[in-house]
Amino acid sequence: MFNLRNSLISAAIFFALPPLAVAAGAPTVAEGVNVAGSRKVTFSNGAIRMAGNLYLPPNYDGNRKYPAIVVAHPWGGVKEQTAGLYAQQLARKGFVTLAFDASHYGESGGGPRDLEAPIDRVQDIRSAVSYLGTLPQVDAKRIGTVGVCAGGGYALHESQTDLRVKAVASVVAYDIGDAARTGIQGSPVSAEDRQKLLQSVAEQLNKEAAGAPVLVQSLLPSRDQVNADTPNFVREATEYYLTPRGAHPNARNRFVTTSPVLHMGYYPLEHMELVSPRPALFIAGERAETLKFSQAAYAKAEQPKELMVIPGASHFDLYDKPQYVTPAVEKLAEFFGKYL
User: CATH number for the domain including 117?
Assistant: 3.40.50.1820
pLDDT for the residue numbered 224:
86
257-278 core/surface letters (b: 16 or more CB in 10 A; e: else): bbbbebbeebebbeebeebeeb
Asked if 41 and 54 touch (Cβ cutoff 8 Å), the reply is: yes
Asked if 278 and 142 touch (Cβ cutoff 8 Å), the reply is: no
- In DSSP notation, 141-158 reads EEEEEEEETHHHHHHHHH
| pTM (2 d.p.) | 0.92
Query: Which amino acid does the sequence have at 243?
Result: T
* CA distance to 41, 176, 184, 270, 305, per residue, from 290 (Å): 32, 10, 6, 17, 19
Query: What values do phi and psi take at 256, rounded to 5?
Result: -75, 125
Coil, strand, or helix at residue 191?
A: helix
* Domain with 269 in it: 17-181+259-339
38 Cβ contact partners less than 8 Å away, ≥ 6 residues apart: 25, 26, 53, 54, 55, 56, 88, 91
Instruction: Report the alpha-carbon distance of residue 120 to residue 122 in Å, rounded.
Output: 5
In a domain, 212, yes or no: no
* CA distance to 37, 60, 168, 289, per residue, from 63 (Å): 15, 9, 27, 45
pLDDT for the residue numbered 30:
59
Coil, strand, or helix at residue 37?
A: coil
Coil, strand, or helix at residue 272?
A: helix
Asked if 312 and 322 touch (Cβ cutoff 8 Å), the reply is: no
pLDDT for the residue numbered 71:
98
In a domain, 229, yes or no: no
Strands 183-184 and 187-188: antiparallel
By C-alpha distance, which of 122, 82, 85 is closest to 103?
122
Instruction: Report the alpha-carbon distance of residue 76 to residue 237 in Å, rounded.
Output: 12
In a domain, 98, yes or no: yes
pLDDT for the residue numbered 32:
52
**Distance between alpha carbon 316 and the CA centroid of its chain, in Å?**
12
Total domains in the chain come to 1
Dihedral angle sign, alpha carbons of residues 108, 114, 115, 118: positive
In a domain, 233, yes or no: no
- The DSSP call for residue 225 is G
pLDDT for the residue numbered 20:
26
In a domain, 208, yes or no: no
For the chain of 340 residues, list the mean pLDDT of each consecutive stretch of 10: 39 32 48 63 97 93 95 94 96 96 97 96 98 97 98 98 98 97 93 95 97 93 85 93 91 90 96 98 98 98 98 98 97 98
Q: Is the peptide bond before 27 cis (omega within 30 degrees of 0)?
A: no
- Measured N-to-C along each axis, helices 118-134 and 150-159 cross at an angle, to the nearest 10 degrees, of 70
By C-alpha distance, which of 174, 156, 172, 104 is closest to 275?
156
In a domain, 4, yes or no: no
By C-alpha distance, which of 249, 302, 250, 293 is closest to 275?
302
In a domain, 329, yes or no: yes
pLDDT for the residue numbered 5:
42
In a domain, 246, yes or no: no
